[in-house]
Amino acid sequence: MPDSELPDLPVSRGRVLVIDDEADIREGLETLLDLEGFTVQTAENATEGLKKFEAGIYDLVLLDLMMPDRSGLEVLDDIRKRDSETPVFLITAYGSIEVAVEALKSGANDYFSKPWDNEKLLIEIERQMARTRLERENRELRRALKQRYSFPNIVGKSERMLRVLDLVSQVAPSKSNILITGETGTGKELIAKAIHANSPRADQPFVGVNSGSLPPDLLESTLFGHVKGAFTGAVANRKGYFETANRGTIFFDEIGTLTADMQVKLLRVLQEREFMPVGSTETIKVDVRILAATNAELVKMVEEGRFRQDLYYRLNVINIPLPALRDRKEDIPLLTEHFFQVYCRENEKYLDPQGRSLLRFENEAMHILMDYNWPGNVRELENAVERAVVLSTSDTVPVSVLPEHVLHSTGVRLPRESGEVLPADASLFEVVADFEAKRIVEVLEAVNYSQTDAATRLKIPLSTLNQKIKRLGIVVKRKTASN
């Protein structure tokens, strides 16, 4: 049969190396993993196992603790000397806390005692692989960016975000004024700091001003300083932000909130590079780079005469527009993982011995996060993850821990067309797939779209159901978010 007629076979879900001296166990694991779509290699003793480990690339190793030639802990030690990253699960004939502790200390990622629950093992393999993948992606991303510029706390691999970072690295070295635009929570302040940190001014001050949060008269003396006696309460000379930021960067957040009067004063500084403190008759010269941010429609404000056009052009020499999170959803898993790391550390919860977060959202919850449209963007996601870290009582965060409004607004997703009739010349593969899809949709509907319940009813592991749903293109809808 020519290639074009082959059905789309699912790609391998990962490569697993099984090292165990007992043939029954080896074969059992091989069958189980193979059925689940993993690629499996086996070795019947420690020496062969290490040889295979060195020769191949694996996503996970299942390692027996007791083998005639060497102990699993010794093998683990050898594996870790060669590779600190590939996850290893130890399996052993008897469960004892001491061995478990020893295994985890020696760098194993998990521990199973015979007889184990196959479903639990599969779930753990899957989540461990997902975690390793995300860690690797995050690390590679950071490494790639570091080579050019350093954005240590900016996470994102989407095309749109990479373009933003490219633009940032291009404009950072210059002295040009930059206007950063974007919805609330898209990272405008973060980007402003990154521009400063990657500029020749990085060692000089970065001063942030939120023009909206200060009354206009106070804003003027805050920015330009004042001399003693300039107004009631001015008991001494005081430096303003512009002077503090000299040779560095000043960042005007929410620039759209500047009053007409302050717009004139700021324009003057931009043109003359000098200003006068309140109550003073002497001008002060400064060398300051100006960044500004707005989530308001500044162009519209200019059209309506609420923002000076000349000031707008001065500020907007270069525009960096930040994408909304809903337009770069592929960054959601990375950002989630990043915030898990941050908040697990902060809360000292669910950390492995290396201090890395073990927390993850259960699949359903992750689907919801991907579905939601994030009006508050990254900040809203960050808050949802922080909340999940604080409220979770196990290392798998359930749907119920998501904020109410997130649950309610992720609406219904439709199942694939159920009235569709297969063409008469459909292949056996298509007929089987169609039958499977229909049955799965039927059961999902019967259990109100709980995938866990559906898996139980269909008598297949949850992970298999997830995989089938993806492969068959079934879209799972949720009637009520809290099912």
Ligand X SMILES: Nc1ncnc2c1ncn2[C@@H]1O[C@H](COP(=O)(O)OP(=O)(O)OP(=O)(O)O)[C@@H](O)[C@H]1O
The minimum distance between CB 379 and ligand X, in angstroms, equals: 4
Give the interface size with ligand X as a residue count (CB under 6 A).
17
Q: Build a one-symbol-per-residue string for 380-409: x at contacts with ligand X by CB under 6 A, - elsewhere.
A: --x---------------------------
Three state DSSP letters for the chain: CCHHHCCCCCCCCCEEEEECCCHHHHHHHHHHHHHCCCEEEEECCHHHHHHHHHHCCCCEEEEECECCCCEHHHHHHHHHHHCCCCCEEEEECCCCHHHHHHHHHCCCCEEEECCCCHHHHHHHHHHHHHHHHHHHHHHHHHHHHHHHCCCCCCCCCCHHHHHHHHHHHHHCCCCCCEEEECCCCCCHHHHHHHHHHCCCCCCCCEEEEEHHHCCHHHHHHHHHCECCCCCCCCCCCECCHHHHCCCCEEEEECHHHCCHHHHHHHHHHHHHCEECCECCCCCEECCCEEEEEECCCHHHHHHCCCCCHHHHHHHCCEEEECCCHHHCHHHHHHHHHHHHHHHHHHHCCCECCCCCECCEECHHHHHHHHHCCCCCHHHHHHHHHHHHHHHCCCCEECHHHCCHHHHHHCCCCCCCCCCCCCCCCCCHHHHHHHHHHHHHHHHHHHCCCCHHHHHHHHCCCHHHHHHHHHHCCCCCCCCCCCC
**Interaction between residue 181 and ligand X (CB under 6 A):** no
Residue 119 or 189: the one with the smaller Cβ distance to Mg ion is 189
Residue 153 or 170: the one with the smaller Cβ distance to ligand X is 153
Residue 76 or 155: the one with the smaller Cβ distance to ligand X is 155
Closest-CB residue for ligand X? 187
**Interaction between residue 342 and ligand X (CB under 6 A):** no
Judged by CB under 6 A, which of 30, 189, 434, 436 binds ligand X?
189
Q: Which does 225 bind (CB under 5 to 8 A by kind): ligand X, Mg ion, none?
A: none
Binding to ligand X (CB under 6 A): which residues in 216-235? none
The minimum distance between CB 223 and Mg ion, in angstroms, equals: 18
Span from 18-26, 49-57, 186-194, 278-286 in contact with ligand X (CB under 6 A): 186-194
Residue 190 or 267: the one with the smaller Cβ distance to ligand X is 190
**Interaction between residue 155 and ligand X (CB under 6 A):** yes
The minimum distance between CB 204 and Mg ion, in angstroms, equals: 21
Residue 87 or 187: the one with the smaller Cβ distance to ligand X is 187
**Interface with Mg ion (CB under 5 A):** 189
Judged by CB under 6 A, which of 379, 387, 438, 471 binds ligand X?
379
Residue 155 or 474: the one with the smaller Cβ distance to Mg ion is 155
Residue 182 or 225: the one with the smaller Cβ distance to ligand X is 182
Span from 37-45, 188-196, 232-240, 346-354 in contact with ligand X (CB under 6 A): 188-196
Residue 72 or 156: the one with the smaller Cβ distance to ligand X is 156
The minimum distance between CB 199 and ligand X, in angstroms, equals: 17
Span from 76-84, 121-129, 187-195, 362-370 in contact with ligand X (CB under 6 A): 187-195
Sheet holding 178-181, edge to edge: 206-210, 249-253, 289-294, 178-181, 318-321
The minimum distance between CB 292 and ligand X, in angstroms, equals: 12
Q: Which does 256 bind (CB under 5 to 8 A by kind): ligand X, Mg ion, none?
A: none
Q: What residue ranges bind ligand X (CB under 6 A)? A: 153-156, 182, 184-190, 295, 338, 378-379, 382
